[in-house]
């Protein structure tokens, strides 16, 4: 298995919508395994295929970062069937360097998708799990969490990022688990 490159904002590939997986093949299963390895190595608690340059509707997540692998969820062609309530969560992203922001999401989300054996799976999440499910599905639709914050905050972040990249300032270490 290989650790894949995680594309970073403002890479235009992150803004493209993903296509449904028509058939689950050996290549699909291999991609999922590499995504899982990449997520844990990052370290992160969620990763969507577009973040590694694959415009396929696949997400992997594991919000139990203290016990990696014990509660791993992989979903192919996930769809939010139901959501309710409201929660504000401070989000970060493996594709968004050195930035966190409070984002309003549904407090509870029911997501349906397929597993690697083409079996339908339903995941009902509340709190962090609901947030991560919604965050990763946004990636499949070409959206980043910074698209859900005010334009002013997004523009300030973009200016700071461009300056950091232009000046060659070293990127900070990631002290926390990233979505």
On whether the CB atoms of residues 36 and 45 are closer than 8 A, the answer is no
Q: What is the per-residue DSSP string for 138-177?
A: HHHTT--GGGGS-HHHHHHHHHHHHHHHHHTPPPPP--S-
pLDDT at 37 over 60: yes
Predicted local distance difference test score (pLDDT) of residue 65: 83
What is the sign, positive or negative, of the torsion defined by CA atoms of 107, 108, 113, 115?
positive
pLDDT more than 70, % of the chain? 96
Q: Model-level pTM?
A: 0.93
Q: What is the per-residue DSSP string for 26-63?
A: HHHHHHHHHHHHHHHHTTBSEEEGGGGT--BSEEEE--
Q: Is 15 helix (H, G, I), strand (E, B) or coil?
A: helix
pLDDT at 172 over 60: no
Predicted local distance difference test score (pLDDT) of residue 169: 74
| Token reading at 31 | 């991609």
pLDDT at 178 over 80: no
pLDDT at 167 over 60: yes
CA dist 42 and 166 (Å) reads 24
Over residues 163-172, the mean pLDDT reads 77
Predicted local distance difference test score (pLDDT) of residue 165: 85
Instruction: Quickly name the fold that domain 12-167 has.
Output: Peptide Deformylase (3.90.45)
Predicted local distance difference test score (pLDDT) of residue 76: 98
On whether the CB atoms of residues 46 and 65 are closer than 8 A, the answer is no
Which amino acids are annotated catalytic?
Answer: 136
Mean pLDDT of the chain: 94
pLDDT at 176 over 60: no
């Amino acid at each position: 298995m290989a650790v894949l490159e995680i594309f970073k904002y403002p890479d235009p590939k992150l803004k493209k919508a993903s296509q449904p997986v028509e058939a689950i093949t050996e290549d699909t299963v291999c991609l999922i395994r590499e995504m899982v390895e990449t997520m844990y190595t990052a370290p992160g608690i969620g990763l969507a295929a577009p973040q590694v340059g694959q415009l396929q509707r696949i997400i992997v997540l594991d919000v139990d970062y203290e016990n990696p692998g014990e509660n791993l969820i992989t979903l192919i062609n996930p769809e939010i069937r139901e959501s309710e309530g409201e929660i504000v969560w401070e989000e970060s992203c493996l594709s968004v360097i050195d930035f966190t922001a409070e984002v309003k999401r549904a407090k509870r989300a029911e997501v349906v998708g397929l597993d690697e054996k083409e079996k339908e799976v339903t995941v009902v999440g509340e709190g962090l799990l609901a947030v991560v499910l919604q965050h990763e599905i946004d990636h499949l639709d070409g959206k980043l969490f910074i698209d859900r914050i005010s334009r002013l905050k997004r523009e300030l972040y973009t200016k700071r990022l461009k300056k950091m990249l232009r000046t060659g300032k070293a990127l900070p270490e990631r002290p926390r688990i990233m979505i």
